[in-house]
Structure 1
Amino acid sequence: MSAPILTEGAALEPVEYDVTRADLVAYAAASGDHNPIHQDEAIALAVGLPGVIAHGMYTMALVGRAVATWTGDAEVVELGCKFTAPVVVPADAAARVRVAGTVKSVADGLATLALEVTSGDAKVLGAPKAVVRA
């Protein structure tokens, strides 16, 4: 599959992902990040968090997945963000992460995607962006 034509100013169809506690357990096993704030409610609360939270890099991986959905097999040249708010994952339900974006610019064979990543009403990533070879 080749990359679609990305036009400056184009809105990218938002993509949503459900995140469960089982996803966090699987990500911990795959990444080696077994920090208990990602699995143990009591510990998360004890350190001042609102509950068990998703790994920041798991949230960022969902952004990468959205970029791949939008751009096909386009080469990702840059993917970055600041971690600004946690994705709180309840024990009995999934947290929903929404990734939306626009094509900010296209120049010199590169498309810069300005993104917005939210969970509930909170922006969970600050200044998220991706650059792909257009």
Structure 2
Amino acid sequence: MSELTGPSVDTAQRVNVGDELPPLRVQLTRADLVRYAGASLDFNPIHWNERFAREVGLPNVIAHGMLTMALGGRLVTDWAGPGSVLEYGVRFTRPVVVPDDEQGALVELTGKVTAVGEDGTARVTITARFDGQTVLGKAVATVRLP
């Protein structure tokens, strides 16, 4: 995964509802999918075999949903720090189709603070887009602020 731009925010500053996290843009290639398959032990052929993916009705090889979800988690931890996520959930709405070329698929992630608790927590809504469409729905993380 090659990062094009990435967050770098000091969250020790006051956090307010409406604050936006610095965006994260990640290129996913087929090589990234192979590495993720090895780490996760998810060797489903829809993530590496174009023929099989098409036979089951997909447009091409797709990224692991949990990999896409992890990118959303990375957006939040890059902003709030490692170990800050208390809760995180998403719904998978569309696949990230990864072509067999050098560019792969660009996943663009943004986040916005939607609530700040008096207990030092914040709720962040995450948007993940591929090819102009959202790929994660109801993506929300609760984080402990430093």
Same fold (TM over 0.5): yes
Alignment match, 1:98: 108
Aligned residue among 104, 118, 128 for 2:129: 118
Separation in structure 1 between the aligned mates of residue 97 and residue 17 of structure 2, nearest angstrom: 34
TM-superposed CA distance for 1:15, in Å, is 0.7
The one-letter amino acid of 1:120's match is: D
Q: Which has the higher contact order (CA 8 A, sep 6+)?
A: 1
Does structure 1 conserve the Cα–Cα contact (< 8 Å) formed by 2:45 and 2:53? yes
2:111 is the counterpart of 1:67 = no
TM-score, normalised relative to structure 1: 0.94
Where does residue 6 of structure 2 map in the other structure? none
The answer to whether the 8 Å contact 2:88/2:140 transfers is yes
Q: Counterpart of 2:106 in structure 1: which amino acid?
A: R
**Secondary structure of residue in 2 paired with 1:44:** helix
Gaps of 5+ in 1: none
Q: Deviations over 1:31-66 (max 9, x none)?
A: 110000000000000100010000000111111111
In structure 1, distance between residues paired with 2:110 and 2:76: 10
Alignment partners' CA distance in 2, 1:48 and 1:100 = 30
Flag structure 2 segments of 5+ consecutive residues without an equivalent: 1-9
Task: Give the conservation status (yes or no) of the 8 Å contact 2:75–2:111.
Answer: no
- How many residues align? The count is 133
What SS does structure 1 have at the residue aligned with 2:37? helix
Match of 1:58, SS state, is: helix
In structure 1, which of residues 75, 79, 84 is the aligned counterpart of residue 93 of structure 2? 84
1:128 to 121, 139, 142: 139
Aligned-partner Cα distance in 2 for 1:8–1:73: 21
Instruction: Determine which of 63, 66, 71 is the counterpart of 1:54.
Output: 63
Identity fraction in percent = 48
Tell me the TM-score normalized by structure 2.
0.86
